[in-house]
Amino acid sequence: MYELERKYDELTELLSDPEVIANQLVWQKYAKAQAGMTEIVGVFREFQKVARQLEDTEILLNEPLEAELKEMAELERQELLECREDLEGRMKILLLPKDPNDEKNVIMEIRAGAGGEEAALFAGDLYRMYGRYAEKQGWRLELLSASYTDIGGFKEIIFLIEGKGVYSKLKFESGVHRVQRVPATESSGRIHTSTATVAVLPEAEEVEIEINQNDLRIDIFCSSGPGGQSVNTTQSAVRITHLPTGMVVSCQDEKSQLKNKDKALRVLRARLLEKVQEEKNGEMASERRSQVGTGDRSERIRTYNFPQGRVTDHRIGLTLHRLETILMGEIDELIEALIHSDQAERLKSEAG
């Protein structure tokens, strides 16, 4: 920790060096490195401060004191011990290896699963839930591609979310989401179970995934909306097939063919990055899997039960009885619980 603190101070000095300031690329590199250390160095310095106060208090307790002063000093000692333990725990978490994707934007893909039209409506509910959450976080959402149904749902919807630390908060949302409710189209009032799958892909930079244009087959066609009707008469929709992997990405929401192609390439790049990372993780068979799941979209992770007004995350056994507010984007409690569970599992793994 002392070496990390020394490096932080060194970077602070460099950032005020006129030669470094004159070279903005170098300055930005140092600023980013320093920013990544700020929290852990701040916690470490607070830990040192508390340790010194605790040492002073224990010296005081060894002195002959009046009963009232001794009681006050003992209470202060207990408070400082608790504070030191809390700071030590925070340092351990901050020193855990960081996921290199945590600061990336994400491309989210939501697809209707079992349940027909009801599954498509649920896919729309999930899209709106993540959209509202993104808005509350101050993030930007951009629709990339959508396949609509006649009654307002989505067979598939793909969108980009841009902002600070997006992947770090949304990465545990990948998997099968299940809904239990009486569909609007159901006259007998029976509860149906439907599903939708969510995939959260870190957005790949061009330098991470280089796509050879010779590996692509690009087809152009007319856009279509709900029921298959033509959205516009120009051939602006784009379908890209990545020949080596067989991956197919379509985009038709923009009127510009060029914009649709750019969006489709962003989705393709993210999927290719995911494939590379899955292969890499598969090779690391000895690595312990987190209890919050592998991120596999075939894994059932959460149930939204309308009759009981509850949401249950099956990976950590958390049930919240406020389904309505969760679907309005109030998912912070779920996300924080998943992050803490992952941190606890990784701390256990490090200790073991």
Return the H-helix or E-strand segment holding 178: strand 175-181
Residue 265 confidence (pLDDT): 82
Q: In sequence order, which residues have a C-beta less than 8 Å from that of residue 113 and are 6 or more positions away?
A: 119, 176, 194, 195, 196, 197
Report how many domains make up the chain: 2
Domain that holds residue 211: 106-284+295-345
Residue 101 pLDDT exceeds 60: yes
Flag whether pLDDT at 229 surpasses 80.
no
Query: Looking at the predicted structure, is the pLDDT value of residue 228 above 70?
Result: no
Q: Which pLDDT score is estimated for 307?
A: 92
Q: Could you tell me if residue 217 is inside a domain? A: yes
Q: Mean pLDDT of all residues in the chain?
A: 84
- Whether 101 maps to a domain, the answer reads no
pTM of the predicted structure, to 2 decimals: 0.70
| 255-310 residue pLDDT tens | 778 888 888 888 888 888 888 777 766 644 433 344 455 445 557 899 999 999 99
Q: Are residues 127 and 26 in the same domain?
A: no
In this prediction, residue 136 carries a pLDDT of 96
Examine the domain organization and report whether 137 and 7 are in the same domain: no
Confidence of residue 103 (pLDDT cuts 50, 70, 90): confident
312/215 same-domain check: yes
CATH of residue 280: 3.30.70.1660
From 164-173, 232-241, 319-328, the region with the lowest mean pLDDT: 232-241
Q: Are residues 134 and 110 in the same domain?
A: yes
Do residues 78 and 198 both lie within one domain? no
Q: Tell me which residue of 276, 217, 274, 280 sits closest to 250, measured CA to CA.
A: 217
Neighbour tally for 20: CB within 10 Å = 17
